[in-house]
Amino acid sequence: MELVGIRNSHDKTFPAGLVAGTKVFCCHNLCFRGEVQIARKHTRFAERDLRHLTARAMGQLGNKRESRGHRILRYNETTIHDQRAHDIVIRALDAGAITTTQVPDVIREWREPSHSQFQPRTALSLFNAMTEVHKRVNPHTACRRGKALYGLFDSETGVHCGN
């Protein structure tokens, strides 16, 4: 599911902005994050330019969706056995994708997945075990660690999404 967040200011102290993606964060403290982000100052042609910027952002979002589909398919096609899974968990720790305190939860989620569709021993199942544990941390931390996680799993499965 794609989400969209919009931010603006009535006194024009902040640029008009839009974020979109599978993970969008808009906070009252002005934090504003998403996979695709655009912003435009309130100048003479702002209204005209925002239409073009929004269209471009939606195009980028479509490209990311296609890449994500390819990535998930590849992860799901890659078989992972316990020994390799344990090695990847340690590499995820080294990459900063998970912490030492999360390792037992990741291993538990790998061995007994919370969701039946992750019973098959694939890279997608292991990736899900780690993201399931990410649900318990704040969104900024999860986003940062998620990027490291994607890099690790992309290299493990031979994915080249350019994301």
Query: Quick one: how far is CA 115 from the chain centroid?
Result: 19
CA–CA distances in Å: residue 84 to residues 80, 122, 156: 6, 11, 10
pLDDT of res. 103: 96
Residue 108 three-state SS: helix
**Distance (Å, whole) CA 6 – CA 29:** 14
CA–CA distances in Å: residue 157 to residues 19, 88, 106, 152: 29, 12, 19, 9
pLDDT of res. 1: 59
- Tens of pLDDT, residue by residue, the chain (163 residues): 577 777 877 787 888 777 877 777 777 777 777 777 777 777 777 777 766 777 776 666 666 666 777 888 999 999 999 999 999 999 999 999 999 999 999 999 999 999 998 999 999 999 999 999 888 888 777 777 888 888 899 999 988 755 4
pLDDT in tens, 97-143: 999 999 999 999 999 999 998 999 999 999 999 999 888 888 777 77
Task: Give the predicted TM-score (pTM) of the model.
Answer: 0.63
**In this structure, what are the phi and psi dihedrals at residue 83, rounded to the nearest 5 degrees?**
-60, -45
**In this structure, what are the phi and psi dihedrals at residue 40, rounded to the nearest 5 degrees?**
-145, 125
Mean pLDDT value across the chain: 83
